[in-house]
Every structure is written in C-alpha cells, then in structure tokens.
Structure 1
Amino acid sequence: MTDVRSFYGRWARLYDALASLPFVGSWRARAVESLDLSAGDTVVEMGCGTGANVPSLRKQVGPGGTVVGVDLTRGMLDRAGRHPDRAGDGVHYVQGDAAHPPIRDADAVLATFVAGLFPDPEPVVDRWCDAVGPGGRIALLNFQRSDATVALPLNVVFEGFVRLSSPGSRLARDSQATAFERRVRAARRRLTERTVDRRYETLAGGYLGLLSGTVA
C-alpha cells in the first residue's frame, strides 16, 4: 500500500497533465454520461486521481448534487484541490482505499482506469455495488489491447504503458498487459453478474472499454 502511495505521489503532476488532455476528456465525459445521473444525485468516483472527471460529474448532478472523490494518494488529492473547477461546494475528497470505500448510500459509482490495478478486483466491485445498492449505477472505463490488425504495433506500446503505470511491474518478466487485462475482465465479469440494463462500448479504436449497469 505504501508503494502505491509513493508511486502515484511522485507522478501526480505528470498524471494530472495526461488526465487533462482534450481527447482523454472526451473519453471521461462519455463514462460520466453512461451513469445517467440526475440533478441532486450523489456520485462517488473510486480512484479519482487529480479529479479530472469532477467537472463533468458536477455538471450532471447540478448545484444540489454531491461529488465524492476517493483516492489513496494525498498528492493526487492535493492537486485536485488546486483546480477551481474540481473543488468547491458539493465536491468532497476523501483519502482512502477504493478497494474498501468508506462510502454508503450513493446513487452512482464511477471508476476510470483503476479496476485493473487491484490484485483481486471481484470483491472490490462487489463493495462498489453495495455502496450504491439496488437501482444505483456503476461505470467502469479501462484500457485494453485492440483486436484490430492495424493496431498490433500499438499493442507493444500498451505493454510499456501498463508497466510504467503500475507500481512494481517495470522489471517483471511476464506480460503485464496480459495480467492487467485479466484483472479488468474479472472486474467486468463481476459487474455483469451484479447489474441489469448494461451497456458496453469501445472507444479510441478499441483501446478502451466502457461497461455500465444498474445494480440489481
């Protein structure tokens, strides 16, 4: 746990810059839309990082709604608070473990680019579902390798990206992309088991998968 905090704390500034790129913003906006939020809702983002999704979430829940960002790394949350559009009334940041969220009775949960980082993601998704209860919406947005033939060279880049973005994996012999995708599939499988009214779509030429559903 300390390694994770240290890793993302060191890279908070770069992460913030990458998370704010315009084309990344369009992916994040689509993930927020998939939650079907209403004015006045309470939405929790697990592994919120530097709060890049918060402006879109605030817009959907309106001035009477609440956005809660949960992240393990204080450096990430500190940077989130420096952005005027990611802080203020109705926005709360909690330093805590998204695998054991200190949140209950939310209307929706969003997790972008985080489900594949948990060694055992299925019980984590169960806890997220329990945090919203029946009728709540959950959306998972994750990177993945693309099956498109023209994308094969980029799959090598994807392997490097996973190694660089995952604590302790850069010197591992085994394919980290394969292990990462296995964890993402496990998270999606559990969400599929726990939800109805599901939607799945791919973005960025197949390099992103977005799964959302309503907890049964």
Structure 2
Amino acid sequence: MSSDATAAAQQFYGRWADLYDLLARKTPGLGHLRGRAADALALDSGDTAVEMGCGTGANFPHLRERVGPEGRVVGVDFTRGMLARARNRAEREGWRNVHLARADATEVEFRDPPDAILATFVVGMLADPAAAVNRWADALAPGGHLALLDAAQTTRWFGWPVNQAFRGLVVASSPTGMDAYERAPWSILDERVETARQALRKRADGTTHSEHALGVVRITGGRIE
C-alpha cells in the first residue's frame, strides 16, 4: 500500500474495530470457515502459527486448538484498535501462548521461522499479493504450511445477484471509498485474490482448495518445501 492508503486503512479499521469484531465473531457460518482454514495449515501440537492481519483475534481459538498449550500463536496487524481488542480477548481468555505484534504483514520478519502462516481476508488489500505470498513462503520453516482465506465474486452460474450483494459489501468495507480506485474495486479484489492463489500454487508442493458461501469464499492451502 502507499503511505496514504495505509493511513486510511489504519484509521478505517481502527474506527470500526468494534463492529468488525462483532461481525467476525457472530456472522453465521464464518466460524466454521475459520476452522476449515486452520485445518488447511496441517498444524501439530507444539507448532507455531502466525496470522497475518489477525484483526481482533477471531481465528485465535481455532489456531490454539490445533497447536495445543505447548504451541504458539502469533497475531500480526498494523491497526492499533484491532490489536487492542485482540489483546483484550487474549487476556480475558487467559491465552498465555498468544503473542501480538504491530507490524505490516508484507514486511514483518521473524527471529525463528514459524511452522504455518494464515492470511484471512488480507491479500485482497495488498498492491502486490504475489510478492507477499512469496515473502511469507520464504519465512516458513521447511515443510511449513501457508493458507489463504478470502472472498471474491463467485463464478457460478447463479452469480449475478450474489455478486451484486458482494459488490455492495466491498464498497462499504473499503477504507478509501470508490473515488480512490481507477477501476471497480471488486474487480481489483478478484484479481488480487486470484494472483495470490496462483503464487501459492507455484510455491507449494501441492495445494488444497475449496469454495464456500455460494462460491464467494475460497480457502487455499499448501505445503512449502
């Protein structure tokens, strides 16, 4: 992102963190999809899992369940408001193996390579999603797993009414509004999501892919050599 876009995103997600947290936790079926994304990481007890763009921590329970009390979950986000709520959740639940870092998901570095990286509804916001995917793949321990959970327009035959609703959601959730885009933001989102998946397929030793919610939500995971 440019510096202006980054600042706008930080302000937007900070301002709407409470609503985002409510939607992240209460949207019907979304918890199941978060669990499916965590499954795509093929985690073992004792592993370290990193979530890029962790938001308010809605994925933490799913990741903790899979790494167990001996494992670690690291949440990365660049928005103070989101991290504050994630930190409050971890403290309230007594999650001593959850650690948080305020950083740009495209630039963060790790002292020790993690076993898995998850990015949920993140790559569609990145100007160069392929570069981010490759950077995350490079950061993993050998044999680690990378998984992407995202939403884009459906390609199914009944897609027109579904995509109209989805386009409205994209506009409503855009930090910069329609005026900041040279093209329709949903088209840009579609391209970025697909570009990220192509990059993951190139890097991974085989991938899994599934589509949900009328084809709008996609989960792709792979093992990185």
State the Cα distance separating 1:173 from its structure 2 match.
Answer: 6.1
Over the matched positions of the two proteins, sequence identity in percent amounts to 43
Counterparts of 1:209 and 1:69 in 2: how far apart (Å)?
A: 21
What is the distance in 2 between the residues matched to 1:2 and 1:146?
Answer: 30
1:126-145 aligned at under 5 Å gives the runs 126-145=134-153
* 2:70 aligns with one of 64, 81, 106: 64
Hey, what does 2:18 align to over in structure 1? 13
CA distance in 2, matches of 1:126, 1:90: 27
Three-state SS of the structure 1 residue aligned to 2:158 is: helix
Distance 2:153 2:178 in 1: 18
Q: Report the residue type matching 2:144 in the other structure.
A: G
Q: Tell me, yes or no, if the aligned pair for 1:43 and 1:67 is still in contact at 8 Å.
A: yes
Counterpart residue type for residue 54 of structure 2: C
d(CA) in 2 for partners of 1:198, 1:210: 10
Aligned equivalents of 1:11 and 1:82: distance in 2?
A: 16
Superposed displacement of residue 154, structure 1: 1.9
Aligned equivalents of 1:153, 1:99: Cα separation in 2: 34
Matched letter for residue 84 of structure 2: D
2:194 paired with 1:185: yes
1:147 corresponds in structure 2 to 155
Structure 1 residues 196, 86: CA separation in 2 closer, same or farther (over 3 Å shift)?
A: farther
> Once the 2 structures are TM-superposed, how far is the Cα of residue 205 of structure 1 from its aligned partner?
1.7
Runs of 4+ in 1 over 4 A off after TM superposition: 84-87
How far apart are 1:168 and its partner, in Å?
1.2
Secondary structure of 1:206's match? coil
RMSD across aligned positions (CA): 1.5
The size of the alignment, in residue pairs, is 216
Q: TM-score, normalised by structure 2?
A: 0.91
Identify if the C-alpha distance between structure 1 residues 90 and 17 changes in structure 2 by more than 3 Å, giving closer, same or farther.
Answer: same
- Hey, what's the Cα distance between the residues in 2 that align with 1:80 and 1:167? 20
Counterpart residue identity of residue 116, structure 2: A
**Does residue 100 of structure 1 match 2:107?**
yes
Match of 1:115 in 2: 123
Alignment of 1:150-165 (within 5 A): 150-165=158-173
For 2:3, the equivalent position in structure 1 comes to none
Unaligned runs of 5+ in 2: 1-5
Please point out which of 4, 7, 14 is paired with 2:9. 4
Measured against aligned partners, the alpha-carbon deviations of 1:120-165 in whole angstroms (never above 9, x if no partner) come to 1111111100111430000001101112333321201211211222
Deviation per residue, 1:82-128 (Å, 9 max, x gap): 22576521100100000112324100000011111101111111110
Q: For the residues of structure 2 that align with 1:201 and 1:73, how far apart are their CA atoms? A: 29
Paired amino acid for 1:69: G
What per-residue deviation string (whole Å, max 9, x for no partner) do you get for residues 154-186 of structure 1?
201211211222221333463111111101111
Q: Alpha-carbon deviation of 1:199? A: 0.5
Alignment of 1:11-90 (within 5 A): 11-21=16-26, 22-84=28-90, 88-90=95-97
Distance 1:57 1:145, change over 3 A: same
Runs of 5+ consecutive residues of structure 1 not aligned to the other structure:
none
| Alpha-carbon contact 1:45-1:68 (below 8 Å) kept | yes
| 2:208 maps to amino acid | R
- Report the secondary structure of 1:200's partner residue: strand
Question: Within 2, Cα distance between the matches of 1:169 and 1:108?
Answer: 33
